[in-house]
Protein backbone atom coordinates (compact mmCIF):
# COMPACT_ATOMS: atom_id res chain seq x y z
CA UNK A 1 0.00 0.00 0.00
CA UNK A 2 1.41 3.38 -1.00
CA UNK A 3 2.32 5.90 1.68
CA UNK A 4 2.12 9.14 -0.30
CA UNK A 5 1.96 10.95 -3.60
CA UNK A 6 4.09 12.94 -6.00
CA UNK A 7 2.53 15.64 -8.18
CA UNK A 8 4.62 16.61 -11.19
CA UNK A 9 3.42 20.01 -12.40
CA UNK A 10 4.78 21.50 -15.63
CA UNK A 11 4.14 25.16 -16.38
CA UNK A 12 4.03 25.70 -20.15
CA UNK A 13 4.05 29.38 -21.00
CA UNK A 14 5.33 31.79 -23.62
CA UNK A 15 4.32 35.38 -24.23
CA UNK A 16 2.17 36.07 -27.27
CA UNK A 17 4.73 36.35 -30.07
CA UNK A 18 2.70 36.42 -33.27
CA UNK A 19 3.92 38.89 -35.91
CA UNK A 20 2.18 38.56 -39.27
CA UNK A 21 3.53 42.00 -40.21
CA UNK A 22 7.01 40.45 -40.58
CA UNK A 23 8.13 37.66 -42.87
CA UNK A 24 10.57 36.27 -40.31
CA UNK A 25 10.25 37.60 -36.78
CA UNK A 26 12.99 36.68 -34.34
CA UNK A 27 10.79 36.22 -31.27
CA UNK A 28 8.45 33.77 -33.01
CA UNK A 29 11.35 31.36 -32.76
CA UNK A 30 10.77 31.23 -29.00
CA UNK A 31 7.57 29.35 -29.81
CA UNK A 32 9.07 27.19 -32.55
CA UNK A 33 12.00 26.09 -30.36
CA UNK A 34 9.67 25.20 -27.49
CA UNK A 35 7.41 23.21 -29.82
CA UNK A 36 10.32 21.20 -31.25
CA UNK A 37 12.25 20.69 -28.05
CA UNK A 38 9.59 20.61 -25.29
CA UNK A 39 5.90 20.37 -26.20
CA UNK A 40 6.09 17.75 -28.94
CA UNK A 41 8.64 15.57 -27.07
CA UNK A 42 6.40 15.65 -23.97
CA UNK A 43 3.31 14.79 -26.00
CA UNK A 44 5.11 11.89 -27.63
CA UNK A 45 6.23 10.60 -24.23
CA UNK A 46 2.69 10.84 -22.86
CA UNK A 47 1.49 9.05 -25.98
CA UNK A 48 4.04 6.32 -25.34
CA UNK A 49 2.73 5.81 -21.81
CA UNK A 50 -0.77 5.30 -23.16
CA UNK A 51 0.36 2.87 -25.86
CA UNK A 52 2.33 0.82 -23.30
CA UNK A 53 -0.43 0.88 -20.69
CA UNK A 54 1.65 2.86 -18.21
CA UNK A 55 -0.65 4.71 -15.86
CA UNK A 56 0.54 8.21 -15.14
CA UNK A 57 -0.74 11.38 -13.53
CA UNK A 58 0.87 14.65 -14.61
CA UNK A 59 -0.41 18.21 -14.28
CA UNK A 60 0.45 20.73 -16.95
CA UNK A 61 -0.57 24.32 -17.41
CA UNK A 62 -1.09 25.62 -20.92
CA UNK A 63 -1.32 29.36 -20.55
CA UNK A 64 -3.87 31.17 -22.73
CA UNK A 65 -1.23 32.94 -24.88
CA UNK A 66 0.45 29.60 -25.60
CA UNK A 67 -2.84 27.83 -26.29
CA UNK A 68 -3.92 30.61 -28.65
CA UNK A 69 -0.62 30.41 -30.54
CA UNK A 70 -0.75 26.61 -30.78
CA UNK A 71 -4.24 26.87 -32.24
CA UNK A 72 -3.40 29.67 -34.68
CA UNK A 73 -3.36 28.49 -38.30
CA UNK A 74 -0.96 31.23 -39.37
CA UNK A 75 1.64 30.16 -36.77
CA UNK A 76 1.01 26.49 -37.50
CA UNK A 77 2.12 26.98 -41.10
CA UNK A 78 5.06 29.15 -40.08
CA UNK A 79 6.22 26.39 -37.73
CA UNK A 80 5.91 23.83 -40.52
CA UNK A 81 8.14 26.05 -42.65
CA UNK A 82 10.58 26.23 -39.74
CA UNK A 83 10.62 22.44 -39.37
CA UNK A 84 11.25 21.95 -43.09
CA UNK A 85 14.19 24.33 -42.83
CA UNK A 86 15.65 22.29 -39.96
CA UNK A 87 15.21 19.07 -41.93
CA UNK A 88 17.07 20.62 -44.86
CA UNK A 89 19.86 21.91 -42.58
CA UNK A 90 20.29 18.54 -40.90
CA UNK A 91 20.58 16.88 -44.32
CA UNK A 92 23.32 19.33 -45.30
CA UNK A 93 25.01 18.70 -41.98
CA UNK A 94 25.13 14.96 -42.65
CA UNK A 95 26.91 15.69 -45.94
CA UNK A 96 29.27 18.26 -44.40
CA UNK A 97 30.22 16.17 -41.37
CA UNK A 98 30.80 13.12 -43.59
CA UNK A 99 33.45 15.11 -45.44
CA UNK A 100 34.91 17.34 -42.72
CA UNK A 101 34.14 16.04 -39.23
CA UNK A 102 32.93 12.44 -39.37
CA UNK A 103 32.88 12.26 -35.57
CA UNK A 104 29.82 14.57 -35.67
CA UNK A 105 27.97 12.63 -38.37
CA UNK A 106 25.98 10.34 -35.98
CA UNK A 107 24.68 13.45 -34.20
CA UNK A 108 23.70 15.11 -37.46
CA UNK A 109 21.82 11.93 -38.34
CA UNK A 110 20.17 11.95 -34.91
CA UNK A 111 18.90 15.48 -35.41
CA UNK A 112 17.56 14.73 -38.86
CA UNK A 113 15.65 11.78 -37.44
CA UNK A 114 14.29 13.97 -34.63
CA UNK A 115 13.14 16.70 -37.02
CA UNK A 116 11.51 14.27 -39.44
CA UNK A 117 9.66 12.38 -36.70
CA UNK A 118 8.60 15.69 -35.16
CA UNK A 119 7.14 16.75 -38.48
CA UNK A 120 5.29 13.45 -38.83
CA UNK A 121 3.77 13.78 -35.36
CA UNK A 122 2.94 17.44 -35.80
CA UNK A 123 1.62 17.56 -39.36
CA UNK A 124 0.84 14.04 -40.54
CA UNK A 125 -0.89 12.97 -37.33
CA UNK A 126 -2.40 16.20 -35.97
CA UNK A 127 -2.56 18.48 -38.99
CA UNK A 128 -0.53 21.10 -37.16
CA UNK A 129 -2.94 21.43 -34.21
CA UNK A 130 -1.18 20.32 -31.04
CA UNK A 131 -4.17 21.41 -28.97
CA UNK A 132 -5.97 18.33 -30.25
CA UNK A 133 -3.11 16.18 -28.98
CA UNK A 134 -3.40 17.76 -25.54
CA UNK A 135 -7.19 17.31 -25.59
CA UNK A 136 -6.84 13.65 -26.53
CA UNK A 137 -4.44 12.91 -23.69
CA UNK A 138 -6.43 14.89 -21.13
CA UNK A 139 -9.49 12.83 -22.09
CA UNK A 140 -7.72 9.73 -20.68
CA UNK A 141 -7.65 11.37 -17.20
CA UNK A 142 -3.88 10.93 -17.00
CA UNK A 143 -3.00 14.51 -17.89
CA UNK A 144 -4.61 17.36 -15.97
CA UNK A 145 -4.38 20.62 -17.94
CA UNK A 146 -4.79 23.73 -15.81
CA UNK A 147 -5.04 27.36 -16.80
CA UNK A 148 -3.21 30.55 -15.92
CA UNK A 149 -4.15 34.22 -15.94
CA UNK A 150 -5.14 35.47 -19.40
CA UNK A 151 -1.76 36.89 -20.43
CA UNK A 152 0.31 35.84 -17.41
CA UNK A 153 -0.29 39.21 -15.77
CA UNK A 154 1.39 39.55 -12.37
CA UNK A 155 -1.73 39.72 -10.20
CA UNK A 156 -0.29 41.07 -6.92
CA UNK A 157 0.51 44.35 -8.67
CA UNK A 158 -3.14 44.67 -9.74
CA UNK A 159 -4.66 44.14 -6.31
CA UNK A 160 -5.99 47.70 -6.01
CA UNK A 161 -7.92 47.21 -9.27
CA UNK A 162 -10.31 44.27 -8.82
CA UNK A 163 -11.62 44.62 -12.38
CA UNK A 164 -8.12 44.11 -13.78
CA UNK A 165 -7.73 40.87 -11.80
CA UNK A 166 -11.15 39.66 -12.91
CA UNK A 167 -10.21 40.54 -16.47
CA UNK A 168 -7.16 38.28 -16.27
CA UNK A 169 -8.83 35.38 -14.45
CA UNK A 170 -12.29 35.34 -16.05
CA UNK A 171 -10.85 35.71 -19.55
CA UNK A 172 -8.56 32.74 -18.89
CA UNK A 173 -11.47 30.60 -17.69
CA UNK A 174 -13.59 31.54 -20.72
CA UNK A 175 -10.73 30.77 -23.10
CA UNK A 176 -9.97 27.44 -21.41
CA UNK A 177 -13.58 26.35 -21.93
CA UNK A 178 -13.36 27.40 -25.59
CA UNK A 179 -10.16 25.42 -26.15
CA UNK A 180 -10.76 22.31 -24.04
CA UNK A 181 -14.54 22.09 -23.86
CA UNK A 182 -14.66 21.99 -20.08
CA UNK A 183 -14.17 24.32 -17.14
CA UNK A 184 -10.68 24.56 -15.60
CA UNK A 185 -10.28 23.17 -12.10
CA UNK A 186 -6.85 24.55 -11.28
CA UNK A 187 -4.74 27.56 -12.08
CA UNK A 188 -1.03 28.28 -12.13
CA UNK A 189 -0.84 31.79 -10.71
CA UNK A 190 1.55 33.79 -12.91
CA UNK A 191 5.01 33.60 -11.30
CA UNK A 192 3.19 31.86 -8.39
CA UNK A 193 2.36 35.39 -7.26
CA UNK A 194 -0.15 35.49 -4.38
CA UNK A 195 -1.58 38.18 -2.12
CA UNK A 196 -4.22 37.79 0.57
CA UNK A 197 -7.66 37.76 -0.99
CA UNK A 198 -6.60 36.66 -4.47
CA UNK A 199 -8.30 33.33 -3.92
CA UNK A 200 -11.67 35.11 -3.71
CA UNK A 201 -11.34 35.96 -7.40
CA UNK A 202 -10.42 32.37 -8.18
CA UNK A 203 -13.51 31.13 -6.35
CA UNK A 204 -15.67 33.52 -8.38
CA UNK A 205 -14.32 31.92 -11.56
CA UNK A 206 -15.06 28.39 -10.29
CA UNK A 207 -11.41 27.40 -9.79
CA UNK A 208 -10.68 24.85 -7.08
CA UNK A 209 -6.93 25.09 -6.50
CA UNK A 210 -3.73 27.00 -7.21
CA UNK A 211 -0.02 26.68 -6.54
CA UNK A 212 2.30 28.86 -4.45
CA UNK A 213 5.93 28.73 -3.50
CA UNK A 214 6.85 26.96 -0.27
CA UNK A 215 7.00 30.07 1.90
CA UNK A 216 3.45 30.95 0.86
CA UNK A 217 2.31 27.95 2.92
CA UNK A 218 5.05 27.85 5.55
CA UNK A 219 4.19 31.42 6.60
CA UNK A 220 0.42 30.99 6.28
CA UNK A 221 -1.84 32.06 9.13
CA UNK A 222 -2.43 29.93 11.11
CA UNK A 223 0.67 27.82 10.52
CA UNK A 224 -0.30 24.69 8.56
CA UNK A 225 0.19 21.56 10.62
CA UNK A 226 1.30 19.50 7.63
CA UNK A 227 3.64 22.16 6.25
CA UNK A 228 3.97 21.99 2.48
CA UNK A 229 3.02 18.30 2.37
CA UNK A 230 -0.73 18.86 2.23
CA UNK A 231 -2.81 21.63 0.74
CA UNK A 232 -4.64 24.21 2.78
CA UNK A 233 -8.08 25.63 2.14
CA UNK A 234 -8.28 29.38 1.95
CA UNK A 235 -11.32 30.99 3.60
CA UNK A 236 -12.87 31.12 0.12
CA UNK A 237 -12.71 27.31 -0.08
CA UNK A 238 -10.05 27.30 -2.81
CA UNK A 239 -7.09 25.02 -2.07
CA UNK A 240 -3.45 26.10 -2.15
CA UNK A 241 -0.66 23.62 -2.90
CA UNK A 242 2.96 24.50 -2.13
CA UNK A 243 6.14 23.75 -4.01
CA UNK A 244 8.42 21.26 -2.30
CA UNK A 245 11.91 22.74 -2.01
CA UNK A 246 13.82 19.46 -1.85
CA UNK A 247 12.45 17.92 -5.05
CA UNK A 248 12.67 21.25 -6.87
CA UNK A 249 16.30 21.76 -5.96
CA UNK A 250 17.34 18.43 -7.41
CA UNK A 251 16.14 19.53 -10.83
CA UNK A 252 16.42 23.33 -10.78
CA UNK A 253 19.70 24.05 -9.02
CA UNK A 254 22.47 25.17 -11.34
CA UNK A 255 25.04 23.75 -8.91
CA UNK A 256 23.37 20.59 -7.63
CA UNK A 257 20.62 19.90 -10.17
CA UNK A 258 20.66 17.08 -12.69
CA UNK A 259 20.74 19.26 -15.86
CA UNK A 260 24.29 20.42 -15.11
CA UNK A 261 25.77 16.92 -15.33
CA UNK A 262 28.80 16.66 -17.60
CA UNK A 263 27.25 13.92 -19.74
CA UNK A 264 24.32 16.05 -20.80
CA UNK A 265 24.18 18.17 -23.93
CA UNK A 266 25.62 21.68 -23.82
CA UNK A 267 22.93 24.28 -24.52
CA UNK A 268 25.27 27.15 -25.38
CA UNK A 269 27.08 25.56 -28.35
CA UNK A 270 24.93 25.51 -31.47
CA UNK A 271 25.78 25.28 -35.16
CA UNK A 272 23.84 28.52 -35.66
CA UNK A 273 26.73 30.24 -33.91
CA UNK A 274 29.59 27.87 -34.62
CA UNK A 275 29.43 27.53 -38.40
CA UNK A 276 30.30 30.18 -41.01
CA UNK A 277 27.55 32.67 -41.74
CA UNK A 278 27.65 32.02 -45.48
CA UNK A 279 26.83 28.37 -44.76
CA UNK A 280 24.29 28.64 -41.97
CA UNK A 281 22.79 32.05 -42.80
CA UNK A 282 19.83 30.60 -44.69
CA UNK A 283 18.75 28.68 -41.61
CA UNK A 284 18.96 31.40 -38.98
CA UNK A 285 17.30 34.81 -39.07
CA UNK A 286 16.75 36.40 -42.47
CA UNK A 287 18.70 39.49 -41.36
CA UNK A 288 21.75 37.37 -40.55
CA UNK A 289 21.13 37.39 -36.79
CA UNK A 290 22.68 34.27 -35.33
CA UNK A 291 20.20 32.15 -33.39
CA UNK A 292 20.00 28.59 -32.10
CA UNK A 293 19.04 25.94 -34.62
CA UNK A 294 18.74 23.16 -32.04
CA UNK A 295 21.67 21.25 -33.55
CA UNK A 296 24.33 20.99 -30.85
CA UNK A 297 27.26 18.60 -30.92
CA UNK A 298 28.92 18.96 -27.53
CA UNK A 299 28.36 17.83 -23.99
CA UNK A 300 28.78 20.03 -20.95
CA UNK A 301 32.12 18.74 -19.57
CA UNK A 302 33.81 21.89 -18.18
CA UNK A 303 31.78 24.92 -17.13
CA UNK A 304 34.71 27.31 -17.31
CA UNK A 305 35.40 27.17 -21.05
CA UNK A 306 32.69 26.79 -23.69
CA UNK A 307 35.33 26.21 -26.37
CA UNK A 308 36.80 23.15 -24.64
CA UNK A 309 33.93 20.73 -25.02
CA UNK A 310 33.84 17.03 -25.70
CA UNK A 311 31.49 15.45 -28.22
CA UNK A 312 28.01 14.67 -26.99
CA UNK A 313 27.35 10.95 -26.52
CA UNK A 314 23.63 10.25 -26.69
CA UNK A 315 23.87 6.78 -25.17
CA UNK A 316 25.82 8.02 -22.16
CA UNK A 317 23.37 10.89 -21.70
CA UNK A 318 20.37 8.55 -21.72
CA UNK A 319 22.06 6.26 -19.20
CA UNK A 320 22.67 9.25 -16.96
CA UNK A 321 19.03 10.36 -17.32
CA UNK A 322 17.91 6.90 -16.21
CA UNK A 323 20.27 7.07 -13.22
CA UNK A 324 19.00 10.50 -12.27
CA UNK A 325 15.39 9.34 -12.56
CA UNK A 326 16.18 6.45 -10.23
CA UNK A 327 17.91 8.81 -7.81
CA UNK A 328 14.96 11.21 -7.82
CA UNK A 329 12.55 8.35 -7.21
CA UNK A 330 14.66 6.97 -4.35
CA UNK A 331 14.79 10.36 -2.67
CA UNK A 332 11.02 10.76 -2.96
CA UNK A 333 10.53 7.30 -1.45
CA UNK A 334 12.62 8.23 1.58
CA UNK A 335 10.96 11.63 1.80
CA UNK A 336 7.46 10.12 1.78
CA UNK A 337 8.38 7.50 4.36
CA UNK A 338 9.79 10.18 6.64
CA UNK A 339 6.80 12.53 6.29
CA UNK A 340 3.94 10.03 6.27
CA UNK A 341 4.04 9.14 9.96
CA UNK A 342 4.00 12.75 11.11
CA UNK A 343 0.99 14.31 9.42
CA UNK A 344 -1.73 11.70 9.85
CA UNK A 345 -2.44 11.23 6.15
CA UNK A 346 -0.67 10.41 2.94
CA UNK A 347 1.48 13.41 2.03
CA UNK A 348 1.63 15.02 -1.38
CA UNK A 349 4.99 16.25 -2.67
CA UNK A 350 4.38 18.95 -5.26
CA UNK A 351 7.22 19.31 -7.77
CA UNK A 352 6.48 22.21 -10.15
CA UNK A 353 8.80 23.26 -12.97
CA UNK A 354 8.80 25.41 -16.06
CA UNK A 355 7.93 22.96 -18.82
CA UNK A 356 10.53 24.50 -21.11
CA UNK A 357 13.28 23.23 -18.81
CA UNK A 358 12.53 19.76 -20.17
CA UNK A 359 13.92 19.51 -23.67
CA UNK A 360 14.72 23.14 -24.45
CA UNK A 361 17.19 23.93 -21.67
CA UNK A 362 17.75 20.34 -20.57
CA UNK A 363 17.79 18.27 -23.75
CA UNK A 364 17.43 14.99 -21.85
CA UNK A 365 14.63 16.32 -19.63
CA UNK A 366 11.77 14.57 -21.48
CA UNK A 367 13.74 11.31 -21.32
CA UNK A 368 14.16 11.84 -17.58
CA UNK A 369 10.38 12.20 -17.22
CA UNK A 370 9.90 9.08 -19.35
CA UNK A 371 12.22 7.03 -17.15
CA UNK A 372 10.83 8.48 -13.93
CA UNK A 373 7.18 7.75 -14.70
CA UNK A 374 7.94 4.19 -15.79
CA UNK A 375 10.12 3.54 -12.74
CA UNK A 376 7.47 4.92 -10.41
CA UNK A 377 4.93 2.60 -12.02
CA UNK A 378 7.04 -0.57 -11.92
CA UNK A 379 10.05 -0.27 -9.62
CA UNK A 380 8.62 0.85 -6.27
CA UNK A 381 5.46 0.86 -4.16
CA UNK A 382 6.02 3.70 -1.70
CA UNK A 383 4.30 6.52 -3.60
CA UNK A 384 2.10 7.14 -6.61
CA UNK A 385 1.84 9.95 -9.08
CA UNK A 386 -1.24 12.12 -8.67
CA UNK A 387 -2.64 15.52 -9.57
CA UNK A 388 -3.89 18.19 -7.16
CA UNK A 389 -7.45 17.55 -8.33
CA UNK A 390 -7.23 13.84 -7.62
CA UNK A 391 -5.68 14.50 -4.22
CA UNK A 392 -8.52 16.84 -3.25
CA UNK A 393 -11.04 14.21 -4.30
CA UNK A 394 -9.34 11.74 -1.97
CA UNK A 395 -8.92 14.24 0.88
CA UNK A 396 -11.81 16.72 0.66
CA UNK A 397 -11.13 18.11 4.15
CA UNK A 398 -8.06 20.26 4.78
CA UNK A 399 -6.89 22.82 7.31
CA UNK A 400 -8.16 26.35 6.70
CA UNK A 401 -5.46 29.04 6.57
CA UNK A 402 -4.50 32.17 4.67
CA UNK A 403 -1.35 31.86 2.52
CA UNK A 404 1.36 34.48 2.86
CA UNK A 405 2.15 37.00 0.14
CA UNK A 406 4.73 35.33 -2.07
CA UNK A 407 6.04 34.47 -5.53
CA UNK A 408 8.62 32.07 -6.89
CA UNK A 409 10.76 34.91 -8.20
CA UNK A 410 14.12 36.01 -6.84
CA UNK A 411 13.86 36.74 -3.09
CA UNK A 412 10.39 35.20 -3.05
CA UNK A 413 8.18 38.27 -3.34
CA UNK A 414 7.48 40.92 -6.02
CA UNK A 415 10.80 42.64 -6.68
CA UNK A 416 11.45 40.98 -10.04
CA UNK A 417 8.34 42.62 -11.50
CA UNK A 418 8.59 45.96 -9.70
CA UNK A 419 12.00 47.61 -9.60
CA UNK A 420 13.90 50.50 -11.09
CA UNK A 421 14.14 48.86 -14.51
CA UNK A 422 10.41 48.37 -15.04
CA UNK A 423 8.44 50.50 -12.56
CA UNK A 424 7.65 53.04 -15.28
CA UNK A 425 5.12 50.70 -16.90
CA UNK A 426 2.65 50.51 -14.01
CA UNK A 427 1.14 54.03 -14.04
CA UNK A 428 0.32 53.43 -17.71
CA UNK A 429 -1.13 49.97 -17.05
CA UNK A 430 -3.24 51.22 -14.16
CA UNK A 431 -4.55 54.15 -16.16
CA UNK A 432 -5.43 51.87 -19.05
CA UNK A 433 -7.28 49.50 -16.68
CA UNK A 434 -9.31 52.45 -15.36
CA UNK A 435 -10.15 53.41 -18.93
CA UNK A 436 -11.12 49.84 -19.74
CA UNK A 437 -13.63 49.91 -16.87
CA UNK A 438 -15.02 53.09 -18.40
CA UNK A 439 -15.35 51.44 -21.82
CA UNK A 440 -17.06 48.38 -20.36
CA UNK A 441 -19.91 50.53 -19.02
CA UNK A 442 -20.52 52.59 -22.17
CA UNK A 443 -24.15 52.52 -23.37
CA UNK A 444 -22.81 52.79 -26.93
CA UNK A 445 -21.55 49.20 -26.73
CA UNK A 446 -24.93 48.24 -28.15
CA UNK A 447 -23.50 49.35 -31.48
CA UNK A 448 -21.70 46.33 -33.09
CA UNK A 449 -18.74 48.43 -34.26
CA UNK A 450 -18.26 49.97 -30.81
CA UNK A 451 -18.47 46.54 -29.19
CA UNK A 452 -15.89 45.23 -31.62
CA UNK A 453 -13.52 48.11 -30.78
CA UNK A 454 -14.07 47.67 -27.03
CA UNK A 455 -13.20 43.99 -27.30
CA UNK A 456 -9.99 44.79 -29.17
CA UNK A 457 -9.09 47.44 -26.60
CA UNK A 458 -9.45 44.78 -23.93
CA UNK A 459 -7.13 42.46 -25.86
CA UNK A 460 -4.52 45.22 -26.07
CA UNK A 461 -4.73 45.92 -22.33
CA UNK A 462 -4.38 42.25 -21.45
CA UNK A 463 -1.36 41.88 -23.74
CA UNK A 464 0.26 44.95 -22.21
CA UNK A 465 -0.24 43.46 -18.72
CA UNK A 466 1.86 40.37 -19.47
CA UNK A 467 4.41 39.80 -16.70
CA UNK A 468 6.91 38.71 -19.36
CA UNK A 469 7.72 42.29 -20.33
CA UNK A 470 8.61 43.39 -16.79
CA UNK A 471 10.56 40.15 -16.27
CA UNK A 472 12.61 40.67 -19.43
CA UNK A 473 13.39 44.24 -18.41
CA UNK A 474 14.73 42.93 -15.09
CA UNK A 475 16.80 40.10 -16.58
CA UNK A 476 18.05 42.34 -19.41
CA UNK A 477 17.64 39.68 -22.10
CA UNK A 478 15.42 41.10 -24.89
CA UNK A 479 14.78 44.49 -23.28
CA UNK A 480 14.22 46.43 -26.51
CA UNK A 481 11.55 43.97 -27.58
CA UNK A 482 9.81 44.01 -24.17
CA UNK A 483 9.73 47.82 -24.12
CA UNK A 484 8.47 47.95 -27.70
CA UNK A 485 5.69 45.47 -26.96
CA UNK A 486 4.60 47.41 -23.87
CA UNK A 487 4.50 50.67 -25.81
CA UNK A 488 2.76 49.10 -28.81
CA UNK A 489 -0.13 47.56 -26.87
CA UNK A 490 -0.66 50.65 -24.73
CA UNK A 491 -0.59 52.87 -27.81
CA UNK A 492 -3.14 50.69 -29.58
CA UNK A 493 -5.32 50.64 -26.50
CA UNK A 494 -5.22 54.41 -26.05
CA UNK A 495 -5.92 55.02 -29.74
CA UNK A 496 -8.97 52.76 -29.60
CA UNK A 497 -10.11 54.38 -26.36
CA UNK A 498 -9.91 57.85 -27.89
CA UNK A 499 -11.73 56.77 -31.03
CA UNK A 500 -14.49 55.04 -29.07
CA UNK A 501 -14.97 58.03 -26.77
CA UNK A 502 -15.04 60.42 -29.73
CA UNK A 503 -17.50 58.25 -31.62
CA UNK A 504 -15.11 58.11 -34.58
CA UNK A 505 -13.76 54.58 -34.91
CA UNK A 506 -11.23 54.13 -37.70
CA UNK A 507 -12.35 50.80 -39.17
CA UNK A 508 -9.12 50.33 -41.14
CA UNK A 509 -7.03 50.83 -37.99
CA UNK A 510 -9.26 48.51 -36.00
CA UNK A 511 -9.07 45.79 -38.64
CA UNK A 512 -5.28 46.07 -38.79
CA UNK A 513 -4.93 45.74 -35.03
CA UNK A 514 -7.38 42.84 -34.93
CA UNK A 515 -5.29 41.03 -37.54
CA UNK A 516 -2.08 41.51 -35.56
CA UNK A 517 -3.40 40.78 -32.06
CA UNK A 518 -6.07 38.16 -32.67
CA UNK A 519 -5.79 36.48 -29.27
CA UNK A 520 -9.01 35.47 -27.43
CA UNK A 521 -11.64 34.94 -30.16
CA UNK A 522 -14.20 34.84 -27.33
CA UNK A 523 -13.76 37.79 -24.98
CA UNK A 524 -16.18 39.53 -22.61
CA UNK A 525 -15.55 43.18 -21.64
CA UNK A 526 -18.33 42.87 -19.04
CA UNK A 527 -15.76 41.45 -16.62
CA UNK A 528 -14.43 45.02 -16.37
CA UNK A 529 -17.87 46.47 -15.72
CA UNK A 530 -18.58 48.24 -12.44
CA UNK A 531 -22.18 47.09 -12.69
33 catalytic per annotation: no
Cα of first residue to Cα of last residue in the chain, in angstroms, is 54
What single string gives the DSSP state of each residue in 439-491? Answer: HHT-GGGGSHHHHHHHHHHHHHHHHHTBHHHHHHHHHTSSHHHHHHHHHHHHH
According to DSSP, the residues that pair with 61 across neighbouring strands are: 11, 146
User: Comparing C-alpha atoms, which of 188, 192, 149 is closest to residue 387?
Assistant: 188
**Cβ-contact 208, 223 below 8 angstroms:** no
Q: Rounded to an integer, what distance in angstroms lies between the CA atom of residue 293 and that of residue 284?
A: 7
SS3 61: strand
Burial readout 131-152 (b: 16 or more C-beta within 10 A, e: otherwise): bebbbebbeeebbbbbbbbbbb
Q: Which position among 144, 191, 333, 367 bears the catalytic label?
A: 191
Listed in sequence order, the residues at least 6 apart from 472 whose beta carbon sits closer than 8 Å to its beta carbon are 478, 479, 481, 482
What single string gives the DSSP state of each residue in 257-293? Answer: SGGG-TTSBPTT--HHHHS-HHHHGGGS-TT------
**Residue spans of alpha helices (H) in 219-364:** 245-252, 271-274, 277-280, 314-343
Listed in sequence order, the residues at least 6 apart from 290 whose beta carbon sits closer than 8 Å to its beta carbon are 272, 273, 277, 284
Q: Cα–Cα distances in Å, from 447 out to 279, 452, 492, 498?
A: 56, 9, 20, 16
517 catalytic per annotation: no
**Cβ-contact 386, 4 below 8 angstroms:** no
**Cβ-contact 452, 515 below 8 angstroms:** no
**Cβ-contact 4, 394 below 8 angstroms:** no
Q: What is the DSSP letter of 223?
A: P
Q: What is the DSSP letter of 29?
A: H
Listed in sequence order, the residues at least 6 apart from 524 whose beta carbon sits closer than 8 Å to its beta carbon are 170, 171, 174
**Cβ-contact 505, 419 below 8 angstroms:** no
DSSP 3-state helix, strand, coil percentages of the chain (rounded to 5)? 55, 10, 35
Taken in order 60, 64, 66, 72, is the CA torsion positive or negative? Answer: positive
According to DSSP, the residues that pair with 242 across neighbouring strands are: 212
SS3 522: coil
Catalytic residues: 191, 354
Amino acid sequence: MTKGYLALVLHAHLPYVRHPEHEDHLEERWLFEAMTETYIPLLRIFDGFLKDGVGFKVTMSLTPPLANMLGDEFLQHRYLRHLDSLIELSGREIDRTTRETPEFKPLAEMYREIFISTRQFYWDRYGGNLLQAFRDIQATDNLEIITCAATHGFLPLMQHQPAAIRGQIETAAIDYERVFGRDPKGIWLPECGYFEGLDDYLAEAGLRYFLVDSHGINFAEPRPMAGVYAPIFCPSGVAAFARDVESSKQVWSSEEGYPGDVDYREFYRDVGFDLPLEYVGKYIHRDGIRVNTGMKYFRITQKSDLHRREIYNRRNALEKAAQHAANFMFNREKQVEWIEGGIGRKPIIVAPYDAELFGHWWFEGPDWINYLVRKVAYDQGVFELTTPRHYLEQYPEQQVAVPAASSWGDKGYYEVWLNGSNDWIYPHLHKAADRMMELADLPSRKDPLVERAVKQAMRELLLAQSSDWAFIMTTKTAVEYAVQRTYAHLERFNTLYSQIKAGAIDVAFLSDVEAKDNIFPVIDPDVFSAG
